[in-house]
Amino acid sequence: RSFAESSSAITRWFDKMNQELTEFQQEAADLTWKGMIGVATGPTQLFAIRKNRWKEWKCKEAISFAAEDLDDRHQRMISLLCRGPRYTDSSIIKNLKLRGRLGWLYETTRVCLRGFGCQRSEPELDLLMRENRDPETRWAAWQ
């Protein structure tokens, strides 16, 4: 293949990859929002596993490109896409369960402070921390 043909194929690959990544990000944002407002979204595990498998596949494809065929922008995109830890399906499930538990604790925990009553983390405790400058009150809230 000529350089021009190779360059054109690589550009198409990156265009498609960027479009697919945008779709994943939109879906993730939608799931996050629905979760935050209490709308059932179904098993997010399936989405996370699907996205992770897509990422692994795209990274395998990307490393097959000849380095001399990639410009700096394309090399940076590959680096950004493929950096970080690699996850198995089971580690994704464990991670999501842990994050769910932490989220539940965050949503349900109340901090009771003398003179302020019991505060939820959002919005009451957040507001208290932004508006109250008394170090003892702030310290008590974080203990």
**108-124, pLDDT tens digit by residue?**
888 888 888 888 888 88
Our CA dihedral for 80, 84, 87, 91, rounded to 10 degrees, sits at -130
What does the pLDDT read at residue 125?
Answer: 85
pLDDT one-digit tens code per residue, 55-81: 999 999 999 999 999 999 999 999 999
End-to-end Cα spacing for the chain: 65
User: Is pLDDT at 54 greater than 90 in this prediction?
Assistant: yes
What is the reported pTM? 0.74
**Averaged confidence pLDDT in the chain:** 89
Mean pLDDT of 1-17: 81
Q: What percent of the chain has pLDDT over 70?
A: 97
| Owner of token pair 């935050």 | 36
